[in-house]
A and B are shown apart, each in its own frame.
Chain A
């Protein structure tokens, strides 16, 4: 089973490259319907929450792990186990 884990949420800088990468794998651009969402804390502008939809496991996780410049994610695809 493929899994993507938020390993270091505190490192997220809100660049949304993971959101773009997720949407690209679904052949679209935009924010709606992304299996990864980045939620900003407007009270503390340097804090972010990362939200994962379980459907993210359907995607190529290695690409999502690699596109994050901060190493927020850890993941394993079924065929890599």
Chain B
């Protein structure tokens, strides 16, 4: 063995290199305060390793970026750990960078002869921030998309070359495939390459000048190995532990049967949608101070806050070695560094407080937007994990074809000026599915066609109420009169208990029969065909609904809505398309417009796809995962 090592050393000189690397002289003994540069280097190495592994699973295009990150986070073994580790190590790197910088300034390690190394360090700072910025976009979720849009629009404010710079960065005028490929090339190629080159020079120069030890020395001189190496290793391990803590921080509150990708690691927003407002847009935490600064500098042209002020601050940092030639200048540099840090911290705190206080209108709006975004992100993950999965067109198309998320939007847009959609009783439901209208002028369509709906319609206390005809001109119509005459207290007063129970039984049978027409709520005709048959008989005979309504072979169209296939998909599509069709309200329609009466889709208010989404949503027939 020793023979081989001697042979190797003769050809490579590795012993000398190792000796140089390990026995760096440390005046005044090893200290904890010297660990920061090493931790920063360590964090960078972690980012390279985790980044390359992420690279092996990531696919940069507008139809695959979110999808591949979803796959990493939710499907690949321990993908949440890898992604979370990379994400939080990036945060750790920015924090370590700030600490390293402060230490260099406070210890005067930027002064002669170390000026050039200090400037290289500042370039490295820019590279790290560039890595953070480019990495933020890569998942192509709403958060990264909108934040990066702002950032690239800021770059366009650079005088003269700004718009060209922006175009080069974005890969054209529009965000798309090439924005991702170009950002990815920067994030995984150009910036890390430059950073590695700078790191080599930075460390070489550091070795050349030696450690800038802090005086007074309390211990005898020592070497890097082993005392300082031990301290560095412990610090690096501590950084790992902090990152792991962040990755696992939601682990204790999560139910054990929940997939780990749903709760651990870092979040993945809903897929970026250029056609949708995203009111929760914020930059990554460590850029929040710039975000806040922009708001304060609104009186100036945007270029001031976006380019001039940050540029001047960076320039002031570059001047530090020159200013620091004088003792007073050094004190100024230290003061200025802390002032900048405190200022940035203050701005961050103000921005965070403004967003999260929960009291101001701004904050409530923001928090609601965050909750919305979270619900949408969870839904996207649910759908991606559903049996139909993500089609080749990508996750955004998948989300746009989801009745659960699109239904409320379409309802708000087209129906909610008259109709509401909420649960009238105490049942706890998903609040995103409820739409409460302040002054409704039509029925509350929650649960249309269900047994509860039909039962309520036949209830003399409800039919003229706000859930049904109370807000419409049909309040005084024949249906209301008939229900009151048939089931009202005057009509049932002389019935004994058994008679009342029988009548109630018949009403329930009708509810079964009409819910079976709608074919929803899991009603299986075979289980209930006796009830359904009794209900059908009651519709035709006992209650003679067919005097006004058509019901299969009985009755005529024209007087009242067709009960054949009542509230089924086809029926709902038809009534929304044209409520004045002879099947529905040819003469007694209140104010409902026809949404798709024309054969020409371009002439209609609702496209066939949107109409379908709305109908499926009203019937509550969207995909829900089994828990």
Bound pair: A and B?
no
